[in-house]
């Protein structure tokens, strides 16, 4: 490690020792407390320059090299600091979309607001268009200087707390399904927008439904041209499948201590089967980190291929599932009791919640089946299955 990286590691480790919340799991015992805690932690990280290392250098704390980003994520995981769940879509999805596809006016208006605490959600999935994003049916009809939007979105992460929404709509039914899609930026407080949190089986309300009834969105809030929504959406999804997974992968590796502590507490440290499974999980986690590194290196060098992000996404979801499964098995009956309020996928401190949430990652950002199709067709150049083919 270079002297510069070691200095950065020492700086952030010292800062976290004084600033990272220690009781964040127990203190966020209501949804309101969770939101307040998340906003306060994000503000602290922004002020310190550690919230957006993946943003360009003109932003506070941005312009970090890949090696510097890794150091920051490793130290946040080592300190067991809370993830920025509330601002996750804002700092990754919204940023990537606006930075790569937004107009100068949109960037100037929205990117600074994100750092001031404005939060975004994503309006892609629908009741009949989850993994098949091209089947989006939420309709937008142009009326003068506005689009009038009607439809429904579902599984929108923390939409009940969001100020704005990345919205994918259909403006035409002619030609291929992808060709009739348009990308809009929607004010969540606009007349006609109704948000209903989804009461999940594990007790969380991490997701919400969004109902749109004659919602007017100005033409100036369109990203790209009309009918280019599919291409813009790929910028959003590439961020989720690749860039964000670097942080998540390093946090998973940083949380391996939780797995080891659970195994030791259960008296299973000498169990040959558990040792074997722990070795497999550790290898999977290291592989995901390596894949995420390679993805970002290729992306920064302009060498990213369509499908690279899908490889990372599938590897991560499988490793996370194995990680949480082993923790739940090692924890025994006690680990199956779920505490009151938890959010996230691996940082909750509760193995049952982590295990159930790990399965969401096999769907979020595109299901495993969709990702495998992308990998097969785009990276391996495999043909689509001929129509009428049967075993």
Mind telling me the catalytic residues? 240
Contacts 24+ apart (CB under 8 A), 31-39: 31/205, 31/341, 34/86, 34/341, 34/343, 35/86, 35/161, 37/82, 38/82, 38/84, 38/85, 38/86, 38/87, 39/86, 39/117
- The DSSP call for residue 177 is G
- Nearby residues of 18 by Cβ (< 8 Å), 6 or more positions away: none
3-state helix, strand, coil in the chain (%, to 5): 50, 15, 35
Backbone dihedral angles phi then psi of residue 185, each to the nearest 5 degrees = -110, 120
The residues with which 207 forms a beta bridge, in sequence order, are: 157
Q: Which helix (H) or strand (E) holds 384?
A: none
DSSP per residue, 73-131? HHHHHHTTPPP--TTHIIIIIIHHHHHHHS-HHHHHHHHHHHHTT--EEEE--BTTBSS
Residue 240 to residue 93: CA distance in whole angstroms: 7
């Amino acid at each position: 490690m270079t002297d510069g990286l070691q200095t950065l590691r020492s700086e952030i480790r010292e800062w976290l020792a004084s600033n990272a919340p220690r009781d964040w799991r127990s203190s966020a015992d209501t949804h309101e407390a969770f939101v307040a805690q998340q906003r306060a932690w994000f503000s602290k990280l922004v002020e310190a320059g550690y919230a957006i290392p993946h943003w360009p250098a003109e932003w506070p704390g941005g312009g970090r090299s890949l090696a510097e980003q890794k150091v920051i994520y490793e130290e946040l995981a080592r300190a067991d600091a809370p993830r920025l769940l509330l601002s996750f879509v804002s700092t990754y999805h919204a940023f990537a979309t606006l930075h790569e596809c937004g107009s100068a006016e949109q960037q100037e208006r929205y990117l600074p607001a994100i750092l001031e605490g404005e939060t975004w959600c994503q309006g892609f999935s629908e009741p009949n268009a989850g993994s098949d994003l091209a089947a989006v049916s939420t309709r937008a009809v142009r009326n003068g200087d506005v689009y009038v939007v009607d439809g429904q979105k579902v599984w929108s992460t923390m939409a009940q707390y969001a100020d704005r929404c990345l919205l994918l709509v259909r403006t035409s039914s002619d030609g291929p399904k992808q060709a009739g899609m348009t990308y809009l930026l929607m004010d969540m407080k606009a007349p006609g927008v109704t948000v209903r949190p989804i009461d999940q089986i594990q007790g969380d309300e991490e997701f919400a439904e969004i109902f749109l009834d004659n919602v007017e969105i100005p033409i100036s809030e369109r990203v790209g041209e009309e009918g280019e929504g599919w291409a813009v959406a790929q910028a959003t999804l590439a961020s989720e499948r690749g860039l964000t997974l670097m942080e998540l992968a390093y946090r998973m590796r940083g949380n391996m201590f939780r797995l080891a502590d659970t195994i030791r507490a259960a008296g299973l440290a000498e169990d040959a089967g558990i040792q074997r499974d722990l070795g497999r999980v550790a290898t999977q986690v290291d592989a995901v980190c390596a894949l995420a590194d390679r993805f970002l290196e290729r992306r920064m060098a302009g060498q990213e291929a369509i499908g690279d992000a899908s490889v990372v996404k599938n590897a991560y979801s499988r490793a996370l599932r194995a990680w949480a499964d082993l923790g739940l098995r090692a924890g025994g009956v006690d680990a199956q009791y779920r505490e009151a309020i938890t959010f996230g996928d691996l940082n909750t401190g509760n193995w049952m919640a982590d295990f159930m949430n790990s399965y969401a990652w096999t769907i979020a950002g595109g299901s495993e089946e969709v990702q495998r199709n992308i990998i097969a067709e785009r990276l391996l150049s495999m043909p689509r299955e001929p129509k009428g083919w049967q075993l």
